[in-house]
A and B are shown apart, each in its own frame.
Chain A
Amino acid sequence: MDKFKILVVDDETDFLETILARLKKRKLDATGVTNGEAAVDLLKNQLFDVVLLDVKMPGGMDGIEALREIKRIQPLVEVVLLTGHASIETSIEGMKQGAFDYLLKPMKLEELMSKMAEAFEKKSKHDKKIREAVIKDLTQQHGSTPSGE
């Protein structure tokens, strides 16, 4: 698995701390925040590959609102929703807003990792396509092969 950058957003600090520790132990680059606003702020300054986003957070922004903001700031980031209650309505709403998938709490780390891997793979492909498209664009504009930097 390529090394990728993960952001975990959950109001449950006990969970947040533990999951970060476990991911780091597996040599993954994971960061955590406890609310939607903090996540949005962070994403404005840093690029991430996958965001794990709790759907239900008290006060301020809830998961779906945060998702909408995140997708606006970084359209290419893949979001996996975490929910304690798999209400079809919320999940469908999440998918419409561009989430990659959702996971039911409690979930095993293995489930989480494979889901993130799928999300990352999708993002990588997407990234690659976009890069190719951009390169093609540039080639056509300049009528020559792109010059390396």
Chain B
Amino acid sequence: MKTSLYTSLQRKIIGITLVVSFAPLIILAVTMYYQFAKTCKNKTEEQIEYRALAQAESVDLFLKERIAILSAMADTHTFNEMIDEENLSNIFNVMNSRAGAFVDLGVIDSAGMQRVYVGPYNLKGLNYYDQPWFADVMSKGVFLSDVYMGFRKLPHFIIAVRRNENNKSWILRATIDPNILEGIVRQAQIGSTGDAYLLSKEGIFQTNPRFKGLILSQSNLNTSLFGRRVTVVELENNEGRKLLYAGSWLKNSKWLLIINQEPAEMMQSLFAVRNVEITIIVFGFLAIIMTTIFTTHLAVSQLQQSDATMQELNAQLVQSDKLAAIGKMAAGVAHEINNPLNVILQKTGWMEDLLEEEDIKKSENLEEFQTSVQKIEEHVERARKVVHNMLGFARKMEPHLENVDINDTINQTITILENYARTNNIEIQADLSGKLPIIASDQAQLQQVFLNLLTNAIDAIGKEGLVEIKSRRLDSRICISIKDDGPGIPAEKQKNVFDPFFTTKETGKGTGLGLSVSYNIIEKMGGKIRLKSQVGKGTIFTVEVPIVAPERK
């Protein structure tokens, strides 16, 4: 019951400490993670936005260059020069060698008739008058088409410029290979999941995307989401994964360059940081848990120890209280008992006196009288001893201080008991330390204690056995132990043996005061008596007396 109290206390302390120390750690970790994730996302968006813009600019530059070359050629040649097939072929070669990407080149007159054509097909003589772009270029001067299939069944787009010459207009038209455009656009794709492509205003792929979709097919991206020149949005793709899309309109506002990217790929560094964070936190948790358990265990066991000491002190207090109460009572009744005892003793003495007289000596019952009288005297003596021992508690017993040699005292006590022990076949062995100092103590009282303990040991053994008495110095104390190989004291009786009147001896043999008187004496000297016993093995009583240096004379 008591131990469960300590464990629950320990659990409570550990719980509170862990909660208090974990909560801020977790809050800190979470906020740090989100803060970092936010900056990471911002950075990713910035990066993708920048790329989209830069790539759109390269596409713009590419187109601008093609248009510029085409315009330059138109401006520097007359219609008549142009319609010479050889001339045009030369021009086409120059254009491709300077800039490249031109698939074919043709000259169209104001009636929409392609008058000359250089390129892989035979398109000379085709009339473009009904093509919507023809009207467009005639009015605006420059035209850039979307990618389309047209006559050739290959995706392509055209650029055309108008030249006014002597009030007559003609058109120089070139086809551009969208693969080259695709090459430029694809430079913007990032990592293993990124994609980059061009979309028309209507959302038609103008270049092949890397994944899902083909040139000229409809993308499911809504181009109106991309309002400004560059816009970054986060959208779910068909598979439900979140993708970051950056869209940048080209200068001509016809095409939209799209770069997309799985944010996860860009956030590798974030995850690395997160993993480091988790590791640190896990180790931190472990360290905190271990320290907490260790320190609480330490604290609780210390508490337990001090509680135990307190309990021991309490028990001692109760014991000495009990003895004091007995003493008080004894003092009260001593007089009342000793006076009648005194009368009895004198009366028997008087009877003894009378038994000496001649006429009574002749009585046949003389012997009976004599033994009876003796018995009465014996029992008076027994009663006197009880009262006398009880009074031992009543006296303030300021120990009368003299120079005491503990070993001498032990030896004297052994001498007193030697005969008694020998008749019972009991050996008394003394193992006395030669290093004991002379102390200031009460020799008579110490002798009484040793006498009580040795008598108890001999009585416990009964017949045949060994009693060992040892003296040792322990720091500031002298330790005397008396060990016997008698029957031992059962655990449940061990706490009672110091109680006054506790005895297991036959009526008349023991008063049960020996140990309590000894306890009282040693306690008043500032010492201690302890016992250790095992049933069947024997008993050790240990007396500790503080070393008090004798006064110098």
Q: Which residue of B lies closest to A109 (CB)?
A: B349
Report chain B residues within 8 Å CB of A104: 338, 388
Q: Which residue of B lies closest to A14 (CB)?
A: B343
Given contacts A22-B346, A106-B341, A106-B342, whether A85 and B384 have CB atoms under 8 Å apart is: no
Instruction: Give complex CA distance A15, B343 in Å.
Output: 5
Instruction: Give complex CA distance A23, B335 in Å.
Output: 24
Is B344 close to A, CB under 8 A?
yes
One of A15, A86, A105, A107 near B391 (C-beta < 8 A): A86
Residues 29-85 of A contacting B (Cβ, < 8 Å): 56, 83-85
Is A108 close to B, CB under 8 A?
yes
Q: Which one of B342, B353, B384 has the highest number of Cβ atoms from chain A below 10 Å of its Cβ? A: B342
Residues A18 and B343 in contact, CB atoms below 8 Å apart: yes
User: 1/0 contact trace for A73-105 toward B, CB 8 Å?
Assistant: 000000000011111100000000000000011
Residues B349 and A22 in contact, CB atoms below 8 Å apart: yes
Is B350 close to A, CB under 8 A?
yes
User: 1/0 contact trace for B353-378 toward A, CB 8 Å?
Assistant: 10000000000000000000000000
Is A135 close to B, CB under 8 A?
no
CB distance from B3 to the nearest CB of A (A): 48
CB distance from B377 to the nearest CB of A (A): 9
Residues B347 and A18 in contact, CB atoms below 8 Å apart: yes
User: 1/0 contact trace for A1-25 toward B, CB 8 Å?
Assistant: 0000000000010110011011001
Report chain A residues within 8 Å CB of B337: 84
Residues B344 and A106 in contact, CB atoms below 8 Å apart: yes
Instruction: Give complex CA distance A22, B350 in Å.
Output: 6
Is B380 close to A, CB under 8 A?
yes
Q: Which residue of B lies closest to A25 (CB)?
A: B353
Report chain A residues within 8 Å CB of B349: 18, 22, 108-109
Report chain B residues within 8 Å CB of A87: 331, 394-395
Q: Which residue of A lies closest to B380 (CB)?
A: A106
Instruction: Give complex CA distance A14, B345 in Å.
Output: 11
Instruction: Give complex CA distance A105, B388 in Å.
Output: 10
User: 1/0 contact trace for B328-339 toward A, CB 8 Å?
Assistant: 000100111111
Instruction: Give complex CA distance A82, B346 in Å.
Output: 14
Residues B338 and A18 in contact, CB atoms below 8 Å apart: no
Report chain A residues within 8 Å CB of B344: 106
Residues A106 and B338 in contact, CB atoms below 8 Å apart: yes
Report chain B residues within 8 Å CB of A56: 335
Residues B346 and A15 in contact, CB atoms below 8 Å apart: yes
One of B334, B341, B343, B380 near A85 (C-beta < 8 A): B334
Report chain B residues within 8 Å CB of A25: 353
Residues B338 and A105 in contact, CB atoms below 8 Å apart: yes
Residues A19 and B346 in contact, CB atoms below 8 Å apart: yes
Residues A85 and B342 in contact, CB atoms below 8 Å apart: no
Report chain B residues within 8 Å CB of A85: 331, 334-335, 338, 391
Report chain A residues within 8 Å CB of B168: none
Report chain B residues within 8 Å CB of A18: 343, 346-347, 349-350
Instruction: Give complex CA distance A106, B353 in Å.
Output: 18
Instruction: Give complex CA distance A86, B336 in Å.
Output: 13
CB distance from B513 to the nearest CB of A (A): 17
Residues B350 and A15 in contact, CB atoms below 8 Å apart: no
Report chain B residues within 8 Å CB of A105: 338-339, 341-342
Q: Which residue of A lies closest to B377 (CB)?
A: A108
Instruction: Give complex CA distance A128, B550 in Å.
Output: 42
Q: Which residue of A lies closest to B330 (CB)?
A: A85
Residues A108 and B338 in contact, CB atoms below 8 Å apart: no
Is B396 close to A, CB under 8 A?
yes
Q: Which one of A12, A21, A25, A84 has the highest number of Cβ atoms from chain B below 10 Å of its Cβ? A: A84
Residues A12 and B339 in contact, CB atoms below 8 Å apart: yes
Residues B395 and A88 in contact, CB atoms below 8 Å apart: yes
Instruction: Give complex CA distance A105, B346 in Å.
Output: 10
CB distance from A82 to the nearest CB of B (A): 8
Q: Which one of B336, B345, B384 has the highest number of Cβ atoms from chain A below 10 Å of its Cβ? A: B345
Q: Which residue of A lies closest to B332 (CB)?
A: A85
Q: Which one of B337, B341, B343, B388 has the highest number of Cβ atoms from chain A below 10 Å of its Cβ? A: B343
Q: Which residue of A lies closest to B337 (CB)?
A: A84
CB distance from B399 to the nearest CB of A (A): 13
One of A12, A21, A84, A88 near B350 (C-beta < 8 A): A21
Instruction: Give complex CA distance A109, B344 in Å.
Output: 12
Interface on B for A, CB 8 Å cutoff? 331, 334-339, 341-347, 349-350, 353, 380, 384, 388, 391, 394-396
13 of the cross-chain contacts (CB-CB < 8 Å) are A12-B339, A15-B342, A18-B343, A18-B349, A19-B346, A22-B346, A83-B335, A84-B342, A87-B331, A105-B338, A106-B346, A107-B342, A108-B345
Question: 10 closest A-B pairs (Cβ-Cβ)?
Answer: A84-B338, A106-B342, A84-B335, A105-B342, A106-B345, A18-B346, A85-B334, A106-B341, A105-B338, A14-B343
- 5 new A-B contacts, CB < 8 A, other than A15-B346, A87-B394, A104-B388, are A84-B334, A84-B337, A88-B395, A106-B346, A106-B384
